[in-house]
Chain A
Amino acid sequence: MSDSFLEIPEPSLPEHNLLQAAGTLPELTSGFRERVVLNVHQQVRYGRWVERAWVTGNIVAACFVVLLVWNFRWTNQQKPQPQGQRQDTVQDDASPTYPTYISPGKNSDDDAAPAQPDAHGNSLPQGGPSIRREFIPEMLELNELIEKLQSRKHVLCGFLPYL
């Protein structure tokens, strides 16, 4: 009971004993206990009901959102394509011909090639930027995936985050 760090003495003085002796407990009014116990039981039952209703409401809301997302997804998959193609169908049979991407960056192939002399026979300075770069096939797949997700985003009225 002592609080030594505050240097308050323990209540052992005569005044403290008088104070403690004066602390008699009051008699509760008749029927008070029964009233409180009844009220407590009602509140416990009401609290349980509210908690269950809250949990049920949350589950219903979550199911509704899942159903909504599923419905939009299904509708998007069923939409017919103008050329008779399915949107989700991946064309595996024909290997696509990718256009060569031209970039001003330096290519590693250029390092091995010797520098060509100009019209006067002087060699051109080496180490300049190249204009050719190999196209990475995975990039096209990624672009297709991004386009697909963006089209779903439009269908879902902007519910999905921007990728």
Chain B
Amino acid sequence: MSLNQTTDFQANFQSCVNRLTQQPERALTEIFDLVAQRLVRFAITITGNQFDAEDALQGAFARIAFKPRLLAKANAPWPYLIRSVRNEALRIIQKRKGTGLEVTERGSGEQSVASQIVHEETADIVRRMLKTLPKNQYQVVILKHWEELTFAEIAEALGLSQNTVASRYRYAMEKLQRSLEPLVR
């Protein structure tokens, strides 16, 4: 994603958030259209499959629709929304563990995602390598590279300190650089 695209995205997102208190239905629909795919992509990193990721997104939007002011008054709305989705995804995982319906780590979701990108072999390899990372490092790398958040925003989204986020990112990148070296050559 280029810098212009990121700026446009943030400007559009902020304008939608500004209209949340006046027209919550319309603003939330526009926010959904703007961020749904990105948030599902992020939620997949937690739930391991797309269905649960979509449920997490739906749950997060339902909570925000119940009290739109929470998002409207947030200091950083985009990390706040990411955090809401993350909390919903973690709740779904907890529920799944409680009912004994735990899906194997990155099972059907991985295949469904991978089947959509059959023609992108390199990207597929990179994604597989990413998934070999520990989950906490994986999330930081995803938020850093795919969502292009700063460390401060990632720290707010994940509820961690900036130093923890930075050290996780550093460890993850050291591993990835070793494993991605053949692809780079």
Contact = CB atoms under 8 A, between A and B. Distances in A.
B173 interface: yes
Contacts of B126: 18-19, 21-22
Q: Binding site of B, secondary structure by majority: helix, strand, loop or mixed?
A: helix
8 contacts: A8-B169, A20-B146, A22-B126, A26-B116, A39-B61, A40-B28, A44-B68, A46-B66
A43 B112 CA distance: 31
B166 A3 contact: yes
A1 interface: yes
Contact of A36 (B32, B37, B51, B176): B32
Contacts of B122: 18, 21-22
Give the interface centre of B37, B38, B62, B177 by most chain A CB atoms within 10 Å: B62
Interface of A: 1, 3, 6, 8, 11, 13-16, 18-29, 32-33, 35-37, 39-44, 46-47, 50
Nearest to B144: A11
**Interface residues on chain B, size class:** 35 or more
A24 B65 contact: no
A44 B24 contact: yes
A6 B141 CA distance: 16
A40 B124 CA distance: 34
A15 B166 contact: no
Contacts, number: 122
B113 A14 contact: no
A36 B106 CA distance: 24
A159 to B, nearest CB: 34
Given A26-B37, A40-B28, A44-B25, A15 B117 contact: no
Interface in B1-58: 1, 24-25, 28-29, 32-33, 36-38, 40-41, 44, 50-51, 54, 57-58
A33 B36 contact: yes
A47 B144 CA distance: 34
Contact of B148 (A1, A18, A22, A39): A1
B130 interface: yes
Given A13-B177, A36-B58, 4 more contacts: A26-B113, A28-B40, A29-B51, A44-B24
